[in-house]
Amino acid sequence: MRTLSEIEVVGVVGAGTMGSGIAQVAATAGYEVAMRDVETEYVERGLESVDDSLSRLDAKGALDEEPAAIRDRIAGTTDLADLAGADLVIEAAVEDLDVKREIFADLGGVTDDDVALATNTSTLSITAIASATDRASDVVGLHFMNPVPVMEGVEVVVGERTDPAVAEFAHAFAEDLGKTTWESDDKPGFVTNRILMPWINEGVRAYDEGVAEKRDIDRGMKLGTNAPMGPLELADHIGLDVVLDASETLHDELGDRYQPAYLLKRKVAAGELGKKSGRGFYEYE
């Protein structure tokens, strides 16, 4: 396996919110990045997101170099074969096991045998994803938090066959990006979502059952627990569809205590997905 000092090019599969954020922090740390998605439109949208994020950080004086210099390290592509020269690949595609397994099966043939393959999954089994390749020992979870350029934490998830050296490398790489890591075994939801999703769903239920107005639920949890966001505000920020998908995965694996709140399902069915759609529990411009 390649050492941290040997990593020059980082491949990112997926140019959405998480993929573009991972590409941005890797480029900011000095790595060359190849970011791939299935459609040119998605790649361009991801690059625009990077431009917007870098501009905001630059305006706050949070960058050590010009945004253009960082942006120039990121190349977009729709061809997975363009990741063949990557020294590390991080998958950040849609949270669907079949999709991820297909990507990893392809990555096993595209990349060199000494390249670590990481997945940004937030709830799915690392072991199940890794089993799609003949290199399961090279697969590890690198679960970045959203928004990636801002959030400090990265969860390293160890699958059944993950080589301890690969897990150690994952910690070192994330820390080289300026992140702080913790480690989880490959259990449903890992640390963060196993605890976070029930918290959000209980906030949704409390609002639906009339315990308090939505702003008071969020205000109570922020002031009462020192959380930076309340559950409804955070759900909007994450995306209600993403929360529902994660909750359903945990419900399937862990039982009724993880059952998604009815109002969460109803809002997703109505297309009210939170900040990204302009309306969730709150309205956004």
| Residue from 32, 91, 95, 155 carrying the catalytic annotation | 155
Instruction: Give catalytic status of residue 155 as yes or no.
Output: yes
| Residue from 143, 171, 233, 247 carrying the catalytic annotation | 143
Q: Can you give the three-state secondary structure of the chain, one letter per residue?
A: CCCHHHCCEEEEECCCHHHHHHHHHHHHCCCEEEEECCCHHHHHHHHHHHHHHHHHHHHCCCCCCCHHHHHCCEEEECCHHHHCCCCEEEECCCCCHHHHHHHHHHHHHHCCCCCEEEECCCCCCHHHHHCCCCCHHHEEEEEECCCCCCCCEEEEEECCCCCHHHHHHHHHHHHHCCCEEEEEECCCCCCHHHHHHHHHHHHHHHHHCCCCCHHHHHHHHHHHHCCCCCHHHHHHHHCHHHHHHHHHHHHHHHCHHHCCCHHHHHHHHCCCCEHHHCECCCECC
End-to-end CA distance of the chain: 47
Give the separation between CA 209 and CA 67, rounded to whole angstroms.
Answer: 47
Give the separation between CA 124 and CA 157, rounded to whole angstroms.
Answer: 11
Instruction: Give catalytic status of residue 122 as yes or no.
Output: yes
Tokens of 197: 């999703």
| Residue from 122, 125, 137, 247 carrying the catalytic annotation | 122
| Residue from 20, 53, 137, 193 carrying the catalytic annotation | 193
**Residues that are catalytic:** 122, 143, 155, 193
